[in-house]
Amino acid sequence: MQAAPAIELKGVTKTFGHVVANKNVNLEVRRGEILAILGENGSGKTTLMNMISGIYFPDEGQIFIDGQEVTIRSPKDAFNCGIGMIHQHFKLVDLFTAAENIILGVNDGKKYNVKEAAVRVQEIADRYGFILDPNKKIYDMSVSEKQTVEIIKVLYRGADILILDEPTAVLTPQETGRLFSVLRNMRDDGKSIIIITHKLHEVLSLSDRVSVLRKGEYIGTVNTAETNENELTEMMVGKKITLNIDRPEPKNMKNRLVINDITSVDAFGHTVLDHVSFIARSGEILGIAGIAGSGQRELLEAIAGLQQLRSGEIVYYDPKIDIAVDAEKASEEELQTLIAEDNLILRDPETRVRADLRGKTKAELERMQAGGAAFVRHPRVNLRDKTPTEIREMGVRLSFVPEDRLGMGLVGNMDIIDNMMLRSYKKGMSVFVDRKNPRNLAEEIISELEVVTPGPTTPVRRLSGGNVQKVLVGREIAANPKVLMAAYPVRGLDINSSYTIYNLLTKQKESGVAVIFVGEDLDVLVELCDRILVINSGRVTGLLDGRSATKEEIGLLMTKTDDRQEGEADGSAE
């Protein structure tokens, strides 16, 4: 006789207005197994889990726990059924310790006793192999430690069906590995685990079975051992697609943006950028890797003129302007500086190909000039402490796709046309805005990037994540940039949209733009980027060649503990 599944859903449906988030979903999780729920963003994974954990109430359908029908009206009901959910965004009190957070709100009729609780927390941690100090305060914890607290919190309350919503989104490869081994221990202990994800390799390495959702509909369940990446992708997307990112060799690279030793401090006095230096070259994609909150946002905002710097400079070499350099009149020192800056360009009107001038002396250059060669340099523009308007007025072609699309890059309540105007509305002397050109641009972007929208006058917030991003990236590329910065441009996008964005970035690179790409998916970073800069707590910890770097290598650099601070401590002791 087979045991009833730990949890079973039959015909569950949930709609929001005309949006069908889940349609007639059937799902079954057994005791002692890990079930992965796979689906693209917007396929209804999170809505489905929110119904199990009592946040939403299904419009239709039944939920069975151990074969018995239950109604889950609130998170409390869910707890009573032994269901615990670990959300993507943690819900912890920063000033409390791990143990205090864990017993917060537990009503077991016993006296409030943190010490006893800490002992039990430690027991749970040891049993499954978590590493956690129950007395550590939350604000001292890393993201992965906070996640551990969340997991133990539901275990402490007796949950034996655990739901994890995209648990690896914020973790490094090493931390992910640790989490997976803990989850396997829990499974072997008889717990049922549901993990929501859209990362295929994680599904394959961790789960026992996979259930796939597509556009709110239940597609099917397969045994992980009997499937592969291609089959799952096909189930998820509904058609066969190839998952290769094209990476042409960079051509004709020039220094475009030189970040020189910049330091920035936030409102609380914490150093968010600590002596960061790097160079972004035209014709290549520079990837920036790091754990969320390591200074990526501040770095891009500093370049875009939105962040005050304490020291350092941001130099832009304006490729639109050539200044002639006379090798005879210039001093040796000046010429050598220009060469060192990669800013002495041999102008050959025929080929426009740059010859390598490294190691050339003044005398050699003079000889070349006598032989008919002409040298030019680009003006050096310091962008430090300039406002976005000033930067634009200086003729610097800088485009920026910020992380916060609807909070910074676009205005959600405005339509696509008005969002196109954000960059261009100031043009001209008229006191009135011109909506004709933005309308044309909006229509162009809608048709070229296949934006799914009822029309250009639809408010952007009504579009899906992928379409919002296409509108934003489309606008930024339409500005004809020389430097294009994109922060997490594919976050929340489905596979097809993601690849559209990667291709757009690659096209920009091929047309000679210096592309800076901040990413979180290391698999993509090593496939897309020509060079990868790793930052860790506001400091550069490595610069790797995108073609040879491995995920593990990047992961280590992302989490490497501070040898420099130790070095400083040593230095002061001497």
Partner 1 sequence: MALLNKIPKENSAAEGQKRVKEPLFHIVKRDAPVWYKAWLIRAAAIVLALLLCAVVTVLLARNVNPLDVFKAMISGNFGTVRRIWVMLQSLSILLCVSLALTPAFKMRFWNIGGEGQILIGGLATAACMKLLGAKMPPVLLIFVMLAASIAAGAIWALIPAVFKAQWNTNETLFTLMMNYVAIQIVSYFTMVWEAHKGSANIGIINSKTHYGWLPQIGNEYLLSIIVVLALTVAMYIYLRYSKHGYEISVVGESQNTARYIGINVKKVIIRTMILSGALCGIAGFLLVGSIDHTITPTSSNNRGFTAIMVSWLAKFNPLMMLLTSFLIVFLECGAKEITTKFSLDKSFSDILTGIILFFIIGCEFFINYQIKFRHSQKEVA
**Residues at the interface with partner 1 (CB under 8 A):** 1-4, 6, 15-18, 31, 57, 59, 62, 65-71, 73, 77, 80-82, 158, 160, 190, 304-306, 387-392, 400, 402, 404, 407-414, 418, 421-423, 425-426, 430-433
Asked if residue 12 lies in contact with residue 63, where contact means CB atoms within 8 angstroms, the answer is yes
How much is the CA Rg of the chain, to the nearest whole Å? 27
**Residue 159 beta carbon to partner 1: minimum distance, rounded to whole angstroms:** 8
CA 296 to chain centre: 10
Q: Three-state secondary structure along 66-101? A: CCEEECCCCHHHHHHCCEEEECCCCCCCCCCEHHHH
Nearer to partner 1, 75 or 388 (CB): 388
**Residue 352 beta carbon to partner 1: minimum distance, rounded to whole angstroms:** 33
Tokens read off for 295: 């200074």
Nearer to partner 1, 51 or 149 (CB): 51
Tokens read off for 562: 């501070």
**Residue 23 beta carbon to partner 1: minimum distance, rounded to whole angstroms:** 15
Q: How many CB atoms lie within 10 A of CB 241?
A: 14
**Residue 77 beta carbon to partner 1: minimum distance, rounded to whole angstroms:** 7
Element (H, E) at 28: strand 19-29
Nearer to partner 1, 393 or 562 (CB): 393
Asked if residue 243 lies in contact with residue 198, where contact means CB atoms within 8 angstroms, the answer is no
Nearer to partner 1, 254 or 491 (CB): 491
**Residue 418 beta carbon to partner 1: minimum distance, rounded to whole angstroms:** 7
**Residue 421 beta carbon to partner 1: minimum distance, rounded to whole angstroms:** 7
Asked if residue 17 lies in contact with residue 75, where contact means CB atoms within 8 angstroms, the answer is no
What are φ and ψ of residue 481, in 5° steps? -75, 160
Nearer to partner 1, 304 or 486 (CB): 304
**Residue 251 beta carbon to partner 1: minimum distance, rounded to whole angstroms:** 31
Nearer to partner 1, 395 or 407 (CB): 407
**Residue 60 beta carbon to partner 1: minimum distance, rounded to whole angstroms:** 9
User: Strands across the sheet with 34-38, in order?
Assistant: 68-70, 60-65, 7-16, 19-29, 217-223, 209-214, 34-38, 192-197, 161-165, 83-86
Nearer to partner 1, 361 or 457 (CB): 457
**Residue 460 beta carbon to partner 1: minimum distance, rounded to whole angstroms:** 11
Q: How far is CA 388 from CA 69, 70, 383, 404, in A?
A: 59, 56, 9, 17
CA 544 to chain centre: 19
Nearer to partner 1, 30 or 507 (CB): 30
The HSE-up count of residue 306 (CA atoms within 13 Å, CB side) is: 11
Asked if residue 43 lies in contact with residue 214, where contact means CB atoms within 8 angstroms, the answer is yes
**Residue 461 beta carbon to partner 1: minimum distance, rounded to whole angstroms:** 10
Tokens read off for 218: 């239940």
Q: How many CB atoms lie within 10 A of CB 17?
A: 5
Q: How many CB atoms lie within 10 A of CB 220?
A: 11
Alpha-carbon distance of 541 to 538, in angstroms, equals 9
Tokens read off for 273: 């950028």
Nearer to partner 1, 51 or 534 (CB): 51
**Residue 54 beta carbon to partner 1: minimum distance, rounded to whole angstroms:** 11
Residue located via tokens 């919503």: 165
Closest CA to 376 of 320, 299, 442, 424: 320
Asked if residue 380 lies in contact with residue 315, where contact means CB atoms within 8 angstroms, the answer is yes
Q: Three-state secondary structure along 395-409? A: CCCEEEECCCHHHHH
Nearer to partner 1, 154 or 338 (CB): 154
**Residue 175 beta carbon to partner 1: minimum distance, rounded to whole angstroms:** 29
Tokens read off for 71: 């109604």
What are φ and ψ of residue 295, in 5° steps? 115, 5
What residue type is assigned to position 234 of the chain? E
Asked if residue 25 lies in contact with residue 48, where contact means CB atoms within 8 angstroms, the answer is yes
**Residue 258 beta carbon to partner 1: minimum distance, rounded to whole angstroms:** 23
**Residue 387 beta carbon to partner 1: minimum distance, rounded to whole angstroms:** 6
Q: DSSP class of residue 431?
A: S
Nearer to partner 1, 27 or 63 (CB): 63
Nearer to partner 1, 418 or 530 (CB): 418
Nearer to partner 1, 24 or 496 (CB): 24
Nearer to partner 1, 413 or 440 (CB): 413
Closest CA to 281 of 21, 73, 529: 529
